[in-house]
A and B are shown apart, each in its own frame.
Chain A
């Protein structure tokens, strides 16, 4: 066996041993597939953003169809003897959007380029973290916080600007369950978060300004609670959120879960919202999602998603559905090609609720 091959084998062995000993992970379907929590592969205990050292190993060994041997040590983002770690994410799309009675729109689109930086001020205990979107447009800070871990890593305290914990943190920010609650990766907020990561439990409580990072002009705060029980093949969780703002409080409740049945990883979430700031009591929504991720072969994932939205529970006949079929090919480490289409179905009088989106995306990450 050559040196390069033995290095790769060693990485695989590390990953396999880790899977045998832990329970948790990243894109939520991957977390379900491997039976891990988000913090196994991400610096952020609630998922998303910079991968941990283990997450980097996973991204190079287990997830891609093939490991492209570079002849060098594998990337782990480490600088200055692991005191600093860096990472990034780029998504570039070519897409076609069709809508009845409207000429189709075809475009190339740089969806995002993000840079992550982690400073391990006190290794394993205290870190500072920044997630910055650098393109398209001007720089946009997504997350910036300090995080203190207990010695046992049973709990942590986070303070700064952060994504709020609420149910499944999907990659698709336009999913109904992301837009109904208004809590997603485009609306980070400033506040503090306490996390409890003991055993099978994965829980967070956050208190934030409730302004999605904007200016604060009232004393109202947003409270986010997320509790999940994680087993190796299933998980179940509940989430609650209350945003008390002067225009009226918005509350949201969700139940969510995951299940692995052979090569298929299932995700599901149902949530209800009640937004008192909307006139005539029209702010009560219901959104659900059911998603199947079929691991056809290593590096090949087929994602089928069905979604439902009732934009006003007091008004009949206004429901919307959204279906997606996405094929994800990860041929080599850190590179992915995603292609698929999404179609909306809603009330006949609104053409926008009958749109079709076809896309192919190049996704690079490290």
Chain B
């Protein structure tokens, strides 16, 4: 089959034209996002959770880290989720590291992941995409160095003390083994009220059990586990089974009523019991 040289040249010339030149950046912030009226981040990214959430977590990380399918249960779609799923929470891949260890960026697994440091499990984040600009990484590092502060007024904004999110989320399916369960709250929790009478983990049946049936079942096989608040984040409850959970359907229950119920630092109880179920399937 013959192709005329003129056709070839025209095609190549077209591609070069498509390639064009780099943008002049007019109307964009440092991350290439349009600057809008009232934009908080009209300039470079700031070492604050709001700025990082708006410029990095929400537009880039939350493509995957959102909802029930969030890798490792890490949800980054809102600043509230990002704070409670990151700060003081042990990494699922390297449990000896916290995802964000306030004041210690070199001991924060999230920093190692976005820098592509040697020794990390899996790939550099964002996975399969261009690594974050160094200026962005520097800002995130600085936020961690500053103690990884929450959004100013975040606690005050949460007028209602309630369960905020869980990992796994309610009725989600995850692969075995599952080493830790997270429950985050809208306010900090009174650590003295976390015990076997307020937090329980039960195995309700095999992994083919209908999760709806597990919700309504009276009780299941009690699983030995330790409940404790995260080291640097008293709004996060970590439930660590004595051994990794095998395949099956599990239910976590948190008692929010009656004497000694889970309460915030102002002795305000949840006001109602909370529970969620999830299915652990064999490893793939």
- A residues adjacent to B (C-beta < 8 A): 99, 102, 136-138, 174, 179, 182-184, 186-187, 190, 212, 214-218, 231, 234, 245-248, 259, 261, 266, 268, 270, 275, 277-279, 282-283, 288, 290, 306-308, 311-312, 315-321, 345-353
- Tell me, in angstroms, the Cα distance from A266 to B280 when the chains sit together: 50
Contact B135 A290 (CB under 8 A): no
Contact A317 B130 (CB under 8 A): no
Contact A187 B68 (CB under 8 A): no
Given contacts A282-B59, A351-B133, contact A247 B64 (CB under 8 A): yes
- Tell me, in angstroms, the Cα distance from A99 to B34 when the chains sit together: 24
* Main SS at interface, chain B: loop
- Tell me, in angstroms, the Cα distance from A217 to B175 when the chains sit together: 8
Contact A215 B174 (CB under 8 A): yes
A182's nearest neighbour on chain B, judged by CB, is B128
- CB of A52 to closest CB in B, whole Å: 27
- CB of A238 to closest CB in B, whole Å: 15
Chain A residue numbers with a CB within 8 Å of B107 are none
Instruction: For A288, give its contact among B19, B121, B127 (CB under 8 Å).
Output: B19
- Tell me, in angstroms, the Cα distance from A75 to B43 when the chains sit together: 58
- CB of B124 to closest CB in A, whole Å: 9
B19, B33, B58, B134 — most chain A CB neighbours (10 Å): B19
B281's nearest neighbour on chain A, judged by CB, is A216
Chain B residue numbers with a CB within 8 Å of A352 are 133-136
B138's nearest neighbour on chain A, judged by CB, is A102
Contact A277 B63 (CB under 8 A): yes
- Tell me, in angstroms, the Cα distance from A348 to B173 when the chains sit together: 45
- Tell me, in angstroms, the Cα distance from A182 to B64 when the chains sit together: 13
- CB of B113 to closest CB in A, whole Å: 13
Instruction: For B59, give its contact among A278, A290, A349 (CB under 8 Å).
Output: A278
Contact B18 A318 (CB under 8 A): no
Please tell me which stretch of B8-16, B152-160, B245-253 contacts chain A, meaning at least 4 of its Cβ atoms lie within 8 angstroms of it.
B8-16
- CB of B210 to closest CB in A, whole Å: 17
Range class of the B interface residue count: 35 or more
Chain A residue numbers with a CB within 8 Å of B30 are 347, 349-350
A213's nearest neighbour on chain B, judged by CB, is B122
- Tell me, in angstroms, the Cα distance from A190 to B8 when the chains sit together: 38
- B residues adjacent to A (C-beta < 8 A): 1, 3, 8, 11-12, 15-16, 18-34, 44, 58-59, 62-64, 66-69, 71, 118-123, 127-130, 133-136, 172-175, 284
Contact A187 B19 (CB under 8 A): no
Given contacts A215-B71, A278-B59, contact A346 B22 (CB under 8 A): yes
Contact B28 A347 (CB under 8 A): yes
Other A-B pairs beyond A187-B123, A283-B63, A290-B15, 20, CB < 8 Å: A137-B120, A179-B129, A182-B128, A187-B128, A212-B127, A214-B71, A216-B175, A217-B172, A217-B173, A248-B63, A277-B66, A308-B19, A315-B32, A316-B23, A321-B19, A345-B22, A347-B24, A348-B24, A350-B133, A352-B135
Contact B128 A308 (CB under 8 A): no
Contact B15 A351 (CB under 8 A): no
Contact A317 B24 (CB under 8 A): yes
Given contacts A136-B118, A349-B30, A352-B134, contact A275 B63 (CB under 8 A): yes
Instruction: For A234, give its contact among B3, B12, B23, B25 (CB under 8 Å).
Output: B3
Contact A290 B19 (CB under 8 A): yes
- Tell me, in angstroms, the Cα distance from A90 to B79 when the chains sit together: 42
Contact A137 B15 (CB under 8 A): no
Contact A216 B284 (CB under 8 A): yes
- CB of A262 to closest CB in B, whole Å: 12
